[in-house]
């Protein structure tokens, strides 16, 4: 009886502990000891955005201007995942903002205690028509 109780207790303990062990590497941080960096720095990232932003024709024709706020995750290997719109402007501009961030080159990942970690980032993208 004691052995059965001990085995059952051990089984329950392991069952509860395993999901947290499996998810340890999947934690997404909002802040790291070393934040992710774009190769060449943020000025290079803003140049990438400026050079590659394709203002949607329908949005241009309708005179749509404003900001789209995009959230994304810099993965341990520097790739980008989990792009989503935090604040929408309109469908076409939102889609372009997601495309632009998703197509970015790999970043230098964020680090905690010297180890690469997943870090959540957010960015406002401006859509402004030339005057």
pLDDT in tens, 5-35: 333 333 333 334 333 333 456 999 999 999 9
Q: Tell me which residue range forms the domain holding 34.
A: 27-127
Q: What is the CATH number of the domain that holds 70?
A: 3.30.2420
First to last CA, the chain: 83
Residue 2 belongs to some domain of the structure: no
pLDDT of residue 25: 66
Residue 15 belongs to some domain of the structure: no
As a whole number of angstroms, the distance between CA 87 and CA 71 comes to: 9
pLDDT in tens, 44-86: 999 999 999 999 999 999 999 999 999 999 999 999 999 999 9
Residue 121 belongs to some domain of the structure: yes
pLDDT of residue 130: 87
Residue 54 belongs to some domain of the structure: yes
Q: Helix or strand or coil: residue 114? A: coil
Residue 52 belongs to some domain of the structure: yes
pLDDT in tens, 85-122: 999 999 999 999 999 999 999 999 999 999 999 999 99
pLDDT of residue 131: 83
Residue 123 belongs to some domain of the structure: yes
Residue 45 belongs to some domain of the structure: yes
Residue 18 belongs to some domain of the structure: no
pLDDT of residue 3: 39
How would you class 61 by CB atoms within 10 Å of its CB: exposed for 0-12, middle for 13-18, buried for 19 or more? exposed
Dihedral sign, CA of 109, 73, 123, 47? Answer: positive
Q: What tokens were used for 22?
A: 């499996």
Those residues with Cβ within 8 angstroms of residue 124's Cβ, 6 or more apart along the chain or in another chain: 67, 68, 69, 70, 87
- Split into its structural domains, the chain has a count of 1
As a whole number of angstroms, the distance between CA 110 and CA 93 comes to: 28
């Amino acid at each position: 009886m004691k052995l059965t109780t001990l085995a059952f207790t051990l089984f329950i303990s392991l069952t509860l502990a395993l999901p947290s062990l499996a998810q340890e590497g999947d934690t997404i941080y909002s802040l790291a000891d070393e934040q992710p960096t774009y190769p060449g720095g943020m000025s290079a990232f803003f140049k990438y955005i400026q050079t590659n932003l394709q203002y949607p024709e329908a949005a241009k024709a309708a005179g749509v201007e404003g900001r789209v706020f995009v959230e994304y995750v810099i993965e341990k290997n520097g790739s980008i995942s989990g792009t989503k719109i935090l604040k929408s402007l309109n469908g076409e501009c939102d889609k372009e903002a997601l495309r632009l961030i998703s197509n970015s080159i790999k970043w230098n990942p964020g680090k905690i205690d010297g180890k690469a970690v997943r870090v959540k980032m957010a960015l406002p993208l401006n859509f402004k028509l030339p005057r």
